[in-house]
Structure 1
Amino acid sequence: MSVRRRHQAGQAAVETALVVPMMVFIVLGTIQLGMVHHARLMTEYGAYRAARAGIVNHGDCNIMRKAALTALLPTLGPLSQDVKGRVDTLDFAQGVHTAYTRRLFTGYLDNTFIQVFERYQSGALPLFRLEVVNPRRSDLDGLFATYGSHMNANEVDYDDIRDARIMEANLLSIRLTYFYEMRIPFANWQLHSFYMGREYLGELRGIQFENQRVGGQSATEYLERRGAARSDIHRSLSTLAGEGTYVMPLTATWSMRMQSNYFDNRNYGPRGCAVDS
């Protein structure tokens, strides 16, 4: 081989070494970003389905959770080799739904469910968290005591319009937080670090992520550490990332006017999901 050809071959190898990693990141990152966007859309749909289930089922927290889980099915991964993650047919969807229901919930009385299993145990995070942000938990006692006209003050009419307080309370508002697990190799930990440290990315302007260090750490490790200090949830996310599970919380809210009466007993009602914030 001539000197010129050897030089050209060496140049091509160097160019390939520089370009291929970037191309791999672009391809994998595009796929993962597309999946995150899909999960975001399904989170919004899940919030809608949960609110829709709540307004026609007396604000039942457990039914809303089941509705949210069903909406999230297309984004869930397989739990085992026997239960695949495919949901493109009703039979497959039913199999995935049943597998997750058995892992995440336990049944009691009239096929209602309560969440008892933390999906990401080491990070103390559930698969998803469904919260009733209106009416607030602190308002429920007064709501039923003041406006409850049936069932020993355990029922509130959805069409009661006697004042602004009851009208506002009959607007059911749902917040769904889906702790979505990213599963595309390489892209998942990169995007997770960007999410964790998104408020600190400006500090790394000009840093080459592939080889430059920040305070003795890689740029992604630096972002993970800074992000973990933001809240308890971020600490849990960082713990999971250290074990190779990269989770990104996706949040959506939805509000609908009640079309059935709030119930306030063991089997029905918003108390199990209501929050004060």
Structure 2
Amino acid sequence: MAFPRPQRRQHESGQAAVEAALCMPLVVFMVLGSLQLFMLLQGRILAQVAVYRAVRAGSLNHGSCEAMTHAALVTMLPTVEHTRTPAQLAAAFEDRKRNYLRVRGSKGTLFTEGPMVEIVRESPDVGWVRSLAGDEDLMFDAPTDSAAEMQRRTLEIRMVAWYYMRIPFADWVMSRMFLAQFHLKNYTNANPLNPAQKESDWWADTDVELGPDDWPGGDLGDRMLRWNAQGHYLFPIQVHAAMRMMTPVKASNFQGGAGCSLHGF
């Protein structure tokens, strides 16, 4: 049935409005989600640089936790604060030198509970370092071809850098997707990839693990769930690095165990 021209135009206008209403959530999510994803990739690159600088600082400073943590913190500061000038960098570091994240989220709430970085020394072995009992210099200078001894003289660390997502709407959606991906919580909200699906209930088929639970702050998944419930959306970026020790290890730097913590989590 053919509509008269004025009536046909009105009909087409209503159809365009319906199509726009259906497509708008997807378009908004694609734009904001892409921006948040690229910021996450930037955080990943910074974390890789940070763990390299951390292991180098530890290699030069007898495996010191403080030296490694501070080196990683300085590298990760651009993810939470403007550091375009030396003064801005110094101010940002002063607020976070005890390894507190301290970032204001998209809703204006200040997040101070979590750390910026967490470091675990996988090598040298803590028990072996403590057994040296003042003979660190002698052991460091003694020549050896033993693979085990070479491993003990290598500083190997793994690090998690907590990245705070702050792009409105994208942080909320992507955080719930990550929780579903890690089998921490079902995704039970509206599906942004299918606007017609008002409510969903799924998690990823793949069995993706968050890795070891022996971080200084405890289990990564438990903290993601707790902070997510508070409206703070964080993602743990995990990286790894190793370097030959350039200074002998000091037992005093390993009194707290393999984990590095500058404040109580």
TM-score (norm 1): 0.73
Matched, 1:274 2:258: yes
Q: Describe the SS at the equivalent of 2:159.
A: strand
Query: Does structure 1 conserve the Cα–Cα contact (< 8 Å) formed by 2:191 and 2:200?
Result: no
Cα deviation per residue 1:188-239 (whole Å; 9 max; x = unaligned)? 1221122221156xx99xx9554547xxx744xx549xx9x98742122111
Query: Does structure 1 conserve the Cα–Cα contact (< 8 Å) formed by 2:63 and 2:249?
Result: yes
Equivalent position of 1:137 in the other structure: 126
> What one-letter code is carried by the residue in structure 2 that aligns with 1:188?
D
Number of residues paired by the alignment?
230
Change (3 A) 1:120 1:236: farther
Q: Describe the SS at the equivalent of 1:183.
A: coil
Equivalent position of 2:104 in the other structure: none
Q: Describe the SS at the equivalent of 2:97.
A: helix
Change (3 A) 1:191 1:181: same
The unaligned stretches of length 5 or more in structure 2 are 102-110, 214-218, 260-265
Q: How far, CA to CA, are the matches of 2:8 and 2:40 in structure 1?
A: 48
Equivalent position of 2:115 in the other structure: 126
Query: Does structure 1 conserve the Cα–Cα contact (< 8 Å) formed by 2:55 and 2:242?
Result: yes
> What one-letter code is carried by the residue in structure 1 that aligns with 2:157?
I
Change (3 A) 1:270 1:244: same
Equivalent position of 1:26 in the other structure: 30
Cα deviation for residue 160 of structure 1 reads 3.3
Cα deviation for residue 26 of structure 1 reads 0.5
Matched, 1:41 2:45: yes
1:178-257, aligned counterparts within 5 Å? 178-198=161-181, 208=191, 210=195, 212=197, 218-219=200-201, 223=203, 232-257=219-244
1:63-212, aligned counterparts within 5 Å? 63-76=67-80, 85-101=81-97, 104=100, 121=113, 125-142=114-131, 144-145=132-133, 152-153=134-135, 155=137, 157-162=139-144, 163-198=146-181, 208=191, 210=195, 212=197
Matched, 1:258 2:245: yes
Cα deviation for residue 139 of structure 1 reads 3.0
Q: How far, CA to CA, are the matches of 1:198 and 1:179 in structure 2?
A: 17
Q: Describe the SS at the equivalent of 1:104.
A: coil
TM-score (norm 2): 0.76
Paired-residue identity, %: 30
Q: Describe the SS at the equivalent of 1:262.
A: coil
Q: How far, CA to CA, are the matches of 1:180 and 1:156 in structure 2?
A: 41
Cα deviation for residue 155 of structure 1 reads 4.2
Query: Does structure 2 conserve the Cα–Cα contact (< 8 Å) formed by 1:157 and 1:260?
Result: no
Change (3 A) 1:263 1:137: closer
Q: How far, CA to CA, are the matches of 2:40 and 2:69 in structure 1?
A: 21
Equivalent position of 1:79 in the other structure: none
For the aligned residue pairs, the C-alpha RMSD in angstroms reads 3.1
Q: How far, CA to CA, are the matches of 1:71 and 1:48 in structure 2?
A: 10
Q: How far, CA to CA, are the matches of 1:175 and 1:196 in structure 2?
A: 22
Q: Which runs of 4+ in 1 moved over 6 A?
A: none
Q: Describe the SS at the equivalent of 2:14.
A: helix
Cα deviation for residue 141 of structure 1 reads 2.6
The unaligned stretches of length 5 or more in structure 1 are 77-84, 106-118, 146-151
Cα deviation for residue 157 of structure 1 reads 4.5
Cα deviation for residue 260 of structure 1 reads 1.0
Cα deviation for residue 138 of structure 1 reads 3.2
Give 2:16's match in structure 1, choosing from 12, 15, 19.
Answer: 12
Cα deviation for residue 257 of structure 1 reads 0.3
